[in-house]
Amino acid sequence: MEENNGIISNSMDGKTPPAPGLHFGRKEAERIRNSGTPYNSLSDLEIFTLDNGHRYPTEDALEAGWARISKAREKVLLTKEEFLAEADAKAEEMETATEAYRVLLELASLGILNEYDVYQYAHYRWCIQFPQAIVSYYSEIFDIWLVNNCDTEISAEAAVMYICREFGFEASHIKIVGTPYYFSTDSCFIRFDCRYISWLAKDGEIFQLQKTGEEKHMEKTFAIEQETLAGRDIPELYDAIAAELGYNISNKAIRYDCRKVCISENIQNMLWEAYEMKNPQAFFIDKERASLEVTRLLQLCGPKVDHSLPDNTVRTQEGFAFFESDK
């Protein structure tokens, strides 16, 4: 019997070792598969056995595993002993696995993880050997906590390459924050900043993070070269502002909230000039009507003018630019 500091691992959770050549979990899973029972008619225990029977060599081990997942599903936290048993922690992993449990317990107490989340860290052995990898960030944009479950470290250079390849950011604008983790496209956790915005790439998706502390809800005020602003209509102006903020404007899902941007008076004048230059015939035929249409467009979709802003200056609030899937 394999025993780790009083914790019996899954390999010998049962009281008696199986006879040579017999593995209760595998045999039971095979029996269920051969029974001919439709999958949607199987009990939860039978489905659990099909998926996990290979982990449990004895009947007692299988029953103990079922008891642990049932407990988590009933919103009851695993004890440390149950967590270590589910993780099948070996003697050399006891210290790190115990620390992982402590970190997870703290996150659960804060409401960041639930009881089943904690169970999954044990079941899939996430970060069992590297508890320092269990880090979390809050996205106010999405109103969710994001917790890492990948413990394979990569270099900052490799992380930048991944972000550029998958999400189209400009490499020179990316700053990796903390330790980047990457195992595969659907198993990664990379925190980075791009210009004024904080991001988290997690499991093939990207999340915008709200800055914390004094920077929270902070407005961003900055100037843009006049050559960049000249000749742009409203959508093109918003693209220029978003690009300055570090957004990937080639992403067709990007959207703008005109309520969360202010411009200097001279930028509005340039908008007028741009519309007149782009629609010369309309202004030639009926300048009053064309001017009225531009006025209406600016009122409905345009940025607000702040007369206190210096020339070529923009002020944005959090949420000015977002991706369609974010809302």
DSSP annotation string for 207-225? EEE---GGGTT--EEEE--
- Are 72 and 105 members of one domain? yes
The pLDDT of residue 14 is: 45
H-helix or E-strand spanning residue 3: strand 3-4
- Are 206 and 240 members of one domain? no
- Are 23 and 119 members of one domain? yes
Q: Is residue 142 part of a domain?
A: no
| Percent share of the chain, pLDDT over 70 | 90
Report which of 51, 17, 14 is spatially closest to residue 32, judged by C-alpha positions.
51
Interstrand relation of 313-316 and 220-223 (parallel, antiparallel or unpaired):
antiparallel
Domain that holds residue 198: 156-215
- Are 9 and 129 members of one domain? yes
DSSP code of residue 230: T
| Number of domains observed in the structure of the chain | 3
The pLDDT of residue 2 is: 40
Q: Which amino acid is at 17?
A: P
- Are 208 and 230 members of one domain? no
145 contacts: CB under 8 Å, gap ≥ 6: 112, 113, 136, 137, 138, 139
Residue with tokens 């990937």: 248
Half-sphere exposure of 308 (CA within 13 A, CB side): 2
Per-residue tokens: 3: 């025993």
Half-sphere exposure of 286 (CA within 13 A, CB side): 5
Q: Is residue 180 part of a domain?
A: yes
Lowest mean pLDDT among 1-5, 83-87, 103-107, 242-246: 1-5
Per-residue tokens: 107: 């996150």
DSSP letters for 103-171: HHHHHHHTTSS-HHHHHHHHHTTTTSS-GGG--EEEETTTTEEEE-----B--HHHHHHHHHHHH---G
Half-sphere exposure of 205 (CA within 13 A, CB side): 10
| Res. 324: pLDDT tops 80 | no
- Are 268 and 289 members of one domain? yes
Q: Is residue 151 part of a domain?
A: no
- Predicted confidence (pLDDT) per residue in 181-211, tens digit: 999 878 999 999 887 788 999 999 999 886 4
- Are 183 and 245 members of one domain? no
- Predicted confidence (pLDDT) per residue in 274-286, tens digit: 999 999 998 899 9
- Are 226 and 314 members of one domain? yes
